[in-house]
Structure 1
Amino acid sequence: MKASAFVYPWDVNGDPWAPERIAALGVDQVTLAAAYHSTRALTPRHPRHRVVTAGHAAVLYPPGDARWEGRSLRPCPAGAWAPGDAYGEAAAALTDAGLQVHTWVVLAHNSRLGTEHPDTSVVNAYGDRYPWAPCVAQPATRAYLVELAAEAAVRPGAHGTELESLGWYGLAHLHAHDKIAGVALGDAAQYLMSLCFCPACRAGYAAQGLDPVRLADAVRAALEPVWRGAPCDGGWAGVEKLLGESLAAATRAWRDDTARSLQETVVAAVRAAAPDGFQILLHADPVSYHCGANAGVDPGHILSVADGVVVPCTGGAGLLTPFAERAPEGAVLAANFTVVSGMGGRPGTLAEDAARARTLGATELRLYHAGLASDGDLAAVREALDDS
């Protein structure tokens, strides 16, 4: 199967051996970050540094002034961790090494946006804002995300893009010094804690026939036993048990419609800006009410919109099945495996895991992450790809 490794520009720039080292893994392409959230990343082989701290969500290239003129919401350029056209510099070096480059674009995950423009954030039923989670129902936020996708995805020389966080983000977030694990929140409680009650979402609930004030009261009442330690059922049945079937269905209808329309609009904008043959994939979860980097989608719908999906498979490849059951001929189903042992990956079983994914419908592999992995992890990847 075709394989691609995720890479940051700072893994490549300033390291003259990085492109050939990545090519030697046996991958066909790289998925190179062009717009990314804040992070702290290890660079274990770089000759100039070992840790890169990206202080805020940023585009890793110079944003176009004309495109963003007069807009209150606009992308921030990176700081010293990715100066100038860091993406372009890395892309050129990787291309010279014989690798096809696709952009990696993070959309509705941006703590700086929420800090500088608090009104853009998801607001839970208690009135708490999630600054890392832009509300994808708000017209201004949607316009910003569409424009960002069109610019960041279609960088010079890119053959395709992978769009991450193109949907709802919620409570779950790898926040600095995270302290929210004191109460075990299952799938259902996570959903209720991720429901947004900003003005746009309140209007959306009203359009579904709900009183948003009463809905917020109902969400808080449903969660009260959870805070006292009561267990709750998982899956959508758990949401229905906590909130009631009719309320749960109405909230999901609003959120599903909102995410689907944004996904359609973003993909259309990228296609309009891209050359013929440009591939558009979404990082996706086949359960539409799920939130996060792998946006919850309806498999049949998203495969009618985009060219395919990138599916998290580190914990098992079962999430591929709903996509495979609905995939049209030629759709890309990329199985995404973490190959960093220290982050829960199993590079030593990659060949076996990839074979299993293939039987479930995977057409390609994604390897997270060529820059973060140790030498031993990369050696295991090379061996697995040699055997595949």
Structure 2
Amino acid sequence: MRAGAFVYPWDVDGDPAAPGLLAGLGLAQVTLAAAYHSTRALTPRHPAHRIVTAAHAAVLYPPDPDRWAGRGLHPYPAGEWAPGDAYGRAADALAAAGLDVHSWVVLAHNSRLGAEHPATSVVNAYGDRYPWAPCVGRPEVRALLVDLAAEAAVRPGASGTELESCGWYGLAHLHAHDKTGGVPLGDREQYLMSLCFCSSCREGYGAGGADPDELAAAVRAALAPVWAGAGPAGGLGALEGPALAWRAGTARAFQEAAVAAVRAAAPPGFRILLHADPDPYRCGADTGTDPAHVLGLADGVVARPPRVAHFAAHARRDTVLAVNLPVVTGMGGTPARLADDARRARDEGATELRLYHAGLASDGDLAAVRTALDALARDAS
């Protein structure tokens, strides 16, 4: 199985040893962040720093001034954590080590955008705004993200891209000093708390035959037992269908536009994958999709086990089904089980590996990755 790993530019830029270390793991590909949300990241081996604080969502290269001139919504350049063309410098160094470089583009996840332009954010059924979650139901947000997809994906030297958050975002976000875990929320509750009621989404629900005020009231009623500790969330009755129909149709249209924009900007053979989930209710980094639709649109998906199996039934012979496996022990990964997890995913239909995250992993984690990839290579020989 072809193996790739996620990496940030600051893991490589300024560290001459990093490209060789990554190539020595047995990787064929690196998925390098070109547009990324705010984060605080450990860099265990970098000679100049140990902690990188990315203060806001940013592009990690100089944005094209002609593309964004005069536009109210635009991507933000990075600060000192990724100065200048940090992506380009890292990509050149990785390519020189023999690694295939693909861009990693995060779309609908941007706290600074929501802080500076509150009207762009998801609004829940209680009227609370989620500034980290741009609403893809809003035309101005879609226009921003579609153009961002084209620019950030097709960077010099990249032979493909992986689009994350290419759909709905919602409640599930580890915000700064997050304090939302007091009442456990399952998938159903996360979905209800992520339904958007901004002006665009209210119009969308109405066009689909659902009164938005009645829908918001139904969401609050469905969640009432959760807050009381009396049981799980209830249903929305007859309003369930129109709510999901609006969201699914909006996500599909956004995904179609984003992929089309990347294809128009990319050279022949450029590979486009979406981080995806087969559950249409799901929102977040792996956005909910219709497997048949997304695999008819993109060249493949990046999905978590065991969800990758749901896409396998709709795969073509050349479809990429990359399984995303965590390999950072301190973040819940199990690098010692990587070979077995990869074999299991292969049996479920996965064709490639994505390892999260080579830049965050300890030396011990990377040693386990190297051992696992060696074992998988022996399987194939």
TM over 0.5: yes
Q: Secondary structure at the match of 1:382?
A: helix
Tell whether 2:358 aligns with 1:370: yes
Q: Is the 8 A contact 1:166 1:295 kept in 2?
A: yes
Residue-by-residue CA offset, 1:65-95 (whole Å, 9 max, x unaligned): 0000111000000000000000000000000
Q: Is the 8 A contact 1:267 1:306 kept in 2?
A: yes
Q: Tell me the amino acid that sits aligned with residue 326 of structure 2.
A: T
Q: What does residue 242 of structure 1 align with?
A: 235
Q: Secondary structure at the match of 1:326?
A: coil
Query: 262, 270, 274: which is aligned to 2:262?
Result: 270
Query: 307, 316, 341: which is aligned to 1:353?
Result: 341
Distance across 1 between alignment mates of 2:342 and 2:186: 29
Q: Secondary structure at the match of 2:213?
A: helix
- Write the mapping of 1:199-214 to structure 2, written as runs, cut at 5 A: 199-214=199-214
Deviation of the 1:187 alpha carbon = 1.6
TM-score (norm 1): 0.96
Residue-by-residue CA offset, 1:118-142 (whole Å, 9 max, x unaligned): 0000000111000000000000000
Distance across 2 between alignment mates of 1:297 and 1:100: 27
Deviation of the 1:329 alpha carbon = 1.8
Q: Secondary structure at the match of 1:242?
A: coil
Tell whether 2:377 aligns with 1:385: no
- Write the mapping of 1:5-154 to structure 2, written as runs, cut at 5 A: 5-154=5-154
Q: Is the 8 A contact 1:223 1:242 kept in 2?
A: no
Tell whether 2:323 aligns with 1:323: no
Q: Is the 8 A contact 1:30 1:102 kept in 2?
A: yes
Q: Tell me the amino acid that sits aligned with residue 185 of structure 1.
A: L
Tell whether 2:192 aligns with 1:192: yes
Q: What does residue 340 of structure 1 align with?
A: 328
Distance across 1 between alignment mates of 2:370 and 2:186: 37
Q: Is the 8 A contact 2:309 2:350 kept in 1?
A: no
> Is there any run of 5+ residues in structure 1 with no aligned partner, and where?
233-237
Distance across 2 between alignment mates of 1:342 and 1:324: 31
Residue-by-residue CA offset, 1:189-241 (whole Å, 9 max, x unaligned): 21111000000000000011111111111111221121101222xxxxx6xx4
Deviation of the 1:326 alpha carbon = 1.1
Distance across 2 between alignment mates of 1:59 and 1:197: 28
Deviation of the 1:11 alpha carbon = 0.4
Q: Tell me the amino acid that sits aligned with residue 339 of structure 2.
A: A
Q: Is the 8 A contact 1:222 1:242 kept in 2?
A: yes
Distance across 2 between alignment mates of 1:377 and 1:231: 40
Q: Tell me the amino acid that sits aligned with residue 272 of structure 2.
A: I
Distance across 2 between alignment mates of 1:214 and 1:171: 21
Deviation of the 1:242 alpha carbon = 2.3
Q: What does residue 235 of structure 1 align with?
A: none
Q: What does residue 304 of structure 1 align with?
A: 296
Distance across 2 between alignment mates of 1:381 and 1:184: 33
TM-score (norm 2): 0.98
Distance across 2 between alignment mates of 1:55 and 1:374: 24
After TM superposition, the runs of 4+ consecutive aligned structure 1 residues lying more than 6 A away are none
Q: Secondary structure at the match of 2:114?
A: helix
Deviation of the 1:252 alpha carbon = 0.3
> Is there any run of 5+ residues in structure 2 with no aligned partner, and where?
377-381
CA RMSD of aligned residues (A): 0.8
Q: How many residues are paired up?
A: 376
Q: Tell me the amino acid that sits aligned with residue 162 of structure 1.
A: E
Deviation of the 1:328 alpha carbon = 1.6
Deviation of the 1:327 alpha carbon = 1.0
Deviation of the 1:293 alpha carbon = 0.3
Q: What does residue 219 of structure 1 align with?
A: 219
Q: Is the 8 A contact 2:25 2:373 kept in 1?
A: yes
Distance across 2 between alignment mates of 1:143 and 1:284: 21
Q: Secondary structure at the match of 1:202?
A: helix
